[in-house]
Structure 1
Amino acid sequence: MAITSEATTVWKGTLFEGSGEVGLDSSGLASFPVNWKARSEGVANTTNPEELLAAAHSSCFSMALSLALAQAGNPAESIQTTAAVTFEAGKGVLGSHLLVSARVPGLSEAEFEAFANDAKAGCPISQALAGIPITIEAELA
């Protein structure tokens, strides 16, 4: 069964002086202010498309890794994933770097890295980001 998720942004003004608000329509859990300065200068308390993309990538990857580990009989106690998505004005999104730390009893570091690399390749958001470099650092906690 296919699920469609929705978010809506209302933008007012020009790109550089304007601002908007993005709402998570499907869940209704949150809405966030968004503006150009957050994207180009890293302004606090305002999000940007790349931060939202990083949230999607880190959560999708964690789910993919959790599934793969459990299916192999090595369920994780915990997985922490940070996705760092880099944007440069005039160039666009340059890449996503996954930093992963997990507790997986009975798994060697080499085995874990193999699972992490497979999850990176198989994660639907990684696949959607196929046009940019995706790098990973994975370690057992």
Structure 2
Amino acid sequence: MKFTRKANAQWNGAGKDGKGYLTTASGALSKTPYSFHTRFEDGEKGTNPEELIGAAHSGCFAMQLSFLLNEAGFTATTLDVAAVVTFEDGSVTKVSLTLEGDVPNIDASQFQEIATKAKEVCPISKLLKADIKLNVTLK
């Protein structure tokens, strides 16, 4: 399977005082504001690249895990994934994924094994060069 997705960024002004907008072809983001302040200071409403990476990574990982669980004969009731993206010294250095899953009839070791495989084969995990940690809890 091959496909492409499109997103646009528009930036106006200087780096620290400027502002920008992000738009996705799907319309999920439409002129969503971002700025130095939303990225480095959490000072105003808007998003930032690291937050979007976290959303993309947690969403991709949850979907990948769901497919792998299905292949193993399980269906998750719920997979809650939080991603914390660490930015330091000009680089994204780490992503911590925290997974809490409710999967009937699976034992904790099998859930851990499948979740670890999902982390490894998730397309966004493969894209990132950062250290990716995974913490797993089965309800």
Pairs aligned (count):
138
> Deviation digits for residues 62-120 of structure 1, max 9, x if unmatched?
010000000110111111111111112x3311111101011100111111111111100
Corresponding letter in the other structure for 2:93: L
Identical amino acids, percent of aligned pairs: 38
- Whether contact under 8 Å (2:83, 2:96) holds in the other structure is yes
Q: Which runs of 5+ in 1 are unaligned?
A: none
Name the counterpart of 1:132: 130
Name the counterpart of 2:101: 102
Secondary structure of the residue that 2:33 maps to in structure 1?
strand
Aligned in 2, Cα 1:30/1:91: closer, same or farther, shift over 3 Å?
Answer: closer
> Deviation digits for residues 29-56 of structure 1, max 9, x if unmatched?
2221111111111234211000010011
Instruction: After the TM superposition, list the runs of 4 or more consecutive aligned residues in structure 1 that deviate by more than 2 angstroms.
Output: none
Name the counterpart of 1:34: 34
Corresponding letter in the other structure for 1:43: G
Corresponding letter in the other structure for 2:137: E
Which range moves more in the overlay, 42-51 or 113-122? 42-51
- Whether contact under 8 Å (2:85, 2:92) holds in the other structure is yes
Q: Which runs of 5+ in 2 are unaligned?
A: none
